[in-house]
Structure 1
């Protein structure tokens, strides 16, 4: 099953793109709830390149690596990657009159309900929007 989420970011395509692919930015927005953080982000932005974003509870009680391999990169337009468990994720960046609509589609995993996955990924995307718009103002 595919799950899609989206948000509209009031910023230029270049600003949105750079925040999506810059490790310094990723560590500022890549977590679903305030009790979590992303202390480390490594990214090799090229087809066949890998990324690894460390996700951790701020209290140190748990954490995991979110990692995968880029399979397609169209700067300021789209990114496609495959996660370590072979699920595919596509992120589209569509320029609008207000800024950029970011649409993220991903294969669901079996561990959590589709609704939980949608809410978690949407929370991260909402953090991304907040981060980018705070930089733009």
Structure 2
């Protein structure tokens, strides 16, 4: 099953793209709630390049590495990557009327309900929007 989420960001495409792909920005938005954080982000943005984002609870009670490999990179348009569990994720950027629509389409996993996954990923995308607009 594929899940799609989206957000409209009130910022120029160049800024939105940089906020998505630069580690110094990723660590500021890549978590679903205020009691979590992303202390490190490594990214090699090219086909075959890898990324690893550490996501953890601020109280240290749990955490995980969100990792994958880029399979398609079209600067300022889209990024496709494969997660460690072989699920595919597509992120598309389109500029219209002074905003950038960011659409993320991902294959659901089997551990959590589709609704939980959608809410969690949407929360991260909402954090991205907030950071990109700041």
Any conservation in 1 of the 2:12–2:98 contact (CA below 8 Å)? no
Corresponding residue for residue 39 of structure 1: 39
SS of equivalent residue, structure 1 residue 34:
coil
**Which stretches of structure 1, 4 residues or more, deviate above 6 A after TM superposition?**
none
Cα deviation, residue 99, structure 1? 1.3
CA distance in structure 1 between the partners assigned to 2:46 and 2:74 by the alignment: 10
Paired with 2:132 and 2:78, the residues of 1 have a C-alpha distance of: 17
Using the size of structure 1 for normalisation, the TM-score is 0.97
1:51-70 matches, within 5 Å, as 51-70=51-70
Name structure 2 gaps, 5 residues minimum: none
Shift of 1:98: 2.9
Give the RMSD, CA atoms, in angstroms: 0.4
Distance (whole Å) between structure 1 residues aligned to residue 65 and residue 100 of structure 2: 28
Contact in 1 for aligned 2:31/2:38 (Cα 8 Å): yes
Residue of structure 2 in register with 1:2 after alignment: 2
Q: Between Structure 1 and Structure 2, how many residues are aligned?
A: 134
Residue 88 of structure 2 corresponds to which residue in structure 1? 88
